Structure 1
């Protein structure tokens, strides 16, 4: 049984980091509070004193992963390249930490407005921006659910490269370019 000094030294950052290590190794389904306590060198009771439930732990892990992958748009940075990078960061985190998508997505409320503003700044209309954001969300979710090793030919490109190329296509491929060189058109042509 760990000493009281060990238990007193536990902190949330240490608990979350160790939980994320276990999740990376075996996914969310394999994580238990008992296993985490063993890794921490603490009693199960000490772990529960910091976090009342596994669900509370997973919520903190989701916040930590979101904070690791989401970077604010920097002044002078290309907004569409930034958006593509944010989606790829999210994809990379969610493929590395299987089963964490639900918990990471809970912390994305604050990105809706920045993503909307980037899409508007990049030439999408007010009516197109939510549609494009939804397509990116569904595209990313589909990519996370796809078992690339078993559904794509052996000589196919790297799955991450395919996902990045598809995302680039969604954001810039079929849109007409009008006006000054490099300026995106305002909206897609109306369908007949």
Structure 2
């Protein structure tokens, strides 16, 4: 069946937008490109999705719905770390979700989401921080810092100055880099590890440090 004979629905639009985001990044998603992908006129999209902001919220909804429920019986530090790790993994699959959370898109009156909304996820994080015993101001500082931290780990590869070399040239790239920094002993000593960094492991390390510090701050009040 040709594209123009398949009914245009909100679900088709969102799925196509997610595909574009995976191929070209979030910046590559536009209503014009989306219309081309679906084989329709751009104006047809607006009968189902009122604007691009609404599209991002709907894209985020797909990943927000996959987040695991928070177990209130576990310590707040474990709840917070687990939820933020889940947000990271979902954001790696769908950067639109991170965009919505960072923008603190607390309300989208022209969009009816089918599952967990961004505002509910934000509330879940703040509820955990409230359980920590931190002051309201410290909760806000912690929330903004933690969301920025997760966002940085999701967007980090996209912000790299140069793309990662193909697999077959990784060894040669490391050798050349090592020669270039032979007069910089501290960098040379960890260069191989820098090339093989694991964003998920780095995030967990950072969260353990940050959430541990928040725990100590709360205990000192």
TM-score under structure 1 normalisation?
Answer: 0.69
Question: Which 4+ runs in 1 deviate beyond 6 A?
Answer: 148-152
Q: What is the DSSP-based 3-state SS (H/G/I as helix, E as strand, rest coil) of the residue aligned with 2:135?
A: coil
188 and 109 in structure 1: CA distance in 2 versus 1, 3 angstrom threshold: same
Deviation at 1:149, TM superposition (A): 6.9
TM-score under structure 2 normalisation?
Answer: 0.61
113 and 46 in structure 1: CA distance in 2 versus 1, 3 angstrom threshold: closer
1:155 is aligned to 2:193: yes
> Which stretch of structure 1 is more off in the superposition, 140-149 or 159-168?
140-149
Matches within 5 A, 1:60-139: 60-68=58-66, 70-98=67-95, 101-105=98-102, 106-107=105-106, 108-121=118-131, 123-127=132-136, 128-139=138-149
Deviation at 1:11, TM superposition (A): 1.7
170 and 93 in structure 1: CA distance in 2 versus 1, 3 angstrom threshold: same
Gaps of 5+ in 2: 107-117, 162-186
Deviation at 1:100, TM superposition (A): 5.6
Deviation at 1:84, TM superposition (A): 1.4
Gaps of 5+ in 1: 177-185
Specify the alignment match of 1:59 in structure 2.
Answer: 57
Conservation of the 8 A alpha-carbon contact between 2:59 and 2:96: no
RMSD, matched Cα: 3.4
C-alpha offsets along residues 94-119 of structure 1, whole Å, 9 cap, x if unaligned? 33444663334425333344323323
Deviation at 1:51, TM superposition (A): 2.4
117 and 40 in structure 1: CA distance in 2 versus 1, 3 angstrom threshold: same
Specify the alignment match of 2:16 in structure 1.
Answer: 18
Conservation of the 8 A alpha-carbon contact between 2:101 and 2:122: no
